[in-house]
Structure 1
Amino acid sequence: MIKRTLTLLSIVTLTFSSFGQNSEKAKTLLDEVYTNVTSYDNIYIDFNYSLENTEANIKQETKGNVTLMGDKYLADLFGAKQLFDGSKVYTVVPENEEVTIESPSEEENTVTPSKMLTFYKTGHNYQWDILQNVKGRKIQFIKLIPIDTNTEIKSILLGIDAGTKHIYKLIETGKNGTKTTITVNSFKTNQPLSKSLFTFDEAKYESEGYYIIRN
């Protein structure tokens, strides 16, 4: 009985030791990604976006792109354009001829475009996951488990290109079964940008008859 107990204790110890090593290995890789992406003056990403909930019979797929410079961003998704100039968020919906102007969300769990490459830095536990070969590229997945148990997010799989240390894929699974996937098609850095790229021209949209909503 004593021998069996000692054996079980040894297995448990080895399991926790392995988990700790894998967690530290995952954190080290994420730190490398963070150091990499924050070293660029700006980043342009072209991506595929999909949202699926089998139970609710929902499936949406589209393409999008985002330009990031520090906290500022300009994103195009679902036919709408969203701009953050560092102070306000401007959402332009041409189909409705509407512009919504509001302050950025204060919710900690909200992954905005400005945080999409750095959100993993805090608030998660990390696990080393599978390694995939995608057209000759080694994509190492890290599983992120939110520390906050009240969040609607169950887990996030972050696929990292082992060669470039760039994020290739993000798979977010919600507690309601919704799965959101972002797959990067193109990742460009330090592009020449217009000085007015992150400046919202309200007068332009007013002259075009857009309805301005201020929240």
Structure 2
Amino acid sequence: MKKLLAFLFLVSTLIFNAQEQDPKAKAVLDDVSKLTKSYKTINADIVFTMFDKDKKATEKPQNWKIQVKGQKFKLEIPGTVIVCDGKTLWNYNKDAKEVTIKNFDPNNEDQNPSTMFTMYETGYKYKYDKEQTVAGAPSNLIDLYPAIKPEKKKFHTVKLAISKTKKQIVQMKMMMKDGGTQVYDIKAMKINTEMPDALFVFDLKGFKADQISDERD
């Protein structure tokens, strides 16, 4: 969970003026933002890979799945299922057979992975890099730089690859300060599929839980 959330990093109160940003990058990101906000639901398959400073994979790639409907989301990663109905957040640890329940705060970057598709909107400076084919898609490459308390971030740059035709993010690379890289490849994205609200409520009947920690106020 922390690997994804460290990458989602958004939510801040400072928005930089347009003249402080690269206009070419801004135009690309504005198109992505407008299209993404028009989606009623998002269903995405993501492959996550970590590399060390020598560009060697430190572990096997992981297959993740995220489903988003407004402030509701369900995230499935190896060993963990996280479900949110917009008010309550359930985190199920399969190995520990433990469920943690918290109040959901959409402005808390440690809780809200559903912002991954629009994280660039606030708190980041951006610069257009180049055009390049990524995962078979002609893409615009844009670099993001944290502009709010960058010294507290574990990364210094985020590289986005955005499909020129679909105007969707196809890959994200987080360049870590220790020289490593975290790569998120979006292998498939389905939009506006039917998602019942019940999908975003954690049902204990479907999971083996020996311990339930309710941390709600």
TM range (shorter): 0.7 to 0.9
Say if 1:123 and 1:146, in contact at 8 Å, map to a contact too: yes
CA distance in 2, matches of 1:160, 1:154: 20
CA distance in 2, matches of 1:66, 1:213: 24
The unaligned stretches of length 5 or more in structure 2 are: 1-18
The 3 A distance-change label for structure 1 pair 110 and 119 is: farther
The 3 A distance-change label for structure 1 pair 21 and 211 is: closer
Q: Relative contact order (C-alpha < 8 Å, sep 6+): which is higher?
A: 2
Counterpart of 1:59 in structure 2 is 58
Give 1:127 shift.
0.5
The unaligned stretches of length 5 or more in structure 1 are: 1-19
Counterpart of 1:172 in structure 2 is 174
Deviations 1:55-81 (Å, cap 9, x if unpaired)? Answer: 7x8713211110011121101112211
SS of 1:197's partner is helix
Counterpart of 1:140 in structure 2 is 140
Larger radius of gyration: 1
CA distance in 1, matches of 2:41, 2:180: 31
CA distance in 2, matches of 1:59, 1:111: 25
Percent of residue pairs identical: 25
CA distance in 2, matches of 1:126, 1:98: 40
Q: State which of 191, 199, 202 in structure 2 corresponds to 1:200.
A: 202
Say if 2:100 and 2:213, in contact at 8 Å, map to a contact too: yes
Relative to the length of structure 2, the TM-score reads 0.79
Counterpart of 2:117 in structure 1 is 117
Say if 1:111 and 1:119, in contact at 8 Å, map to a contact too: no
| CA RMSD of superposed structures (Å) | 2.5
Relative to the length of structure 1, the TM-score reads 0.80
Counterpart of 2:24 in structure 1 is 25
Name the amino acid aligned to 2:133. N
Counterpart of 1:17 in structure 2 is none
CA distance in 2, matches of 1:85, 1:123: 26
Give 1:21 shift.
10
Counterpart of 2:151 in structure 1 is 150
